[in-house]
Amino acid sequence: MIRLVPNHTAQIKRSETVTFTFDGTPVQGHRGETLVSALMRAGHLNLREAPNDSAPRGAFCCMGLCQECAVVVQGQVVEACRTDVSADLVVERA
């Protein structure tokens, strides 16, 4: 038998909302969450293109092992799943 439980989403305390840019487009995220979470929630699933065939790449392992979510932040290539959102961050496709 399935027991229905109340929806507790209203009780979740989120950090403040901040705005950063991804390829020049403003994206909102919560301070301290990962870039990949904020980008996926905003519908940005293609974070880079594969070097061999230019196929779209995005989040795969979400723990920093595969480097599929690599993006450029302030001139450095970083994993979006290991980088926190902060205000006025400028993020570009790798």
Q: For the chain (length 94 residues), average pLDDT per consecutive 10?
A: 76 92 97 96 94 92 92 95 95 93
CA distances from 38 to 4, 17, 32 (A): 29, 11, 10
Using an 8 Å Cβ cutoff, are 90 and 22 in contact?
no
Is the CATH number 3.40.50.2300 carried by domain 16-93?
no
Output the pLDDT for position 3.
66
pLDDT, residue 93, reads: 94
What is the predicted pLDDT for the residue at 5?
79
The predicted structure's pLDDT at residue 11: 87
Whether this model's pTM surpasses 0.75:
yes
Structure token pair of residue 17: 């909302």
pLDDT, position 51: 87
Residue pair 35/83 in contact by the 8 Å Cβ criterion = yes
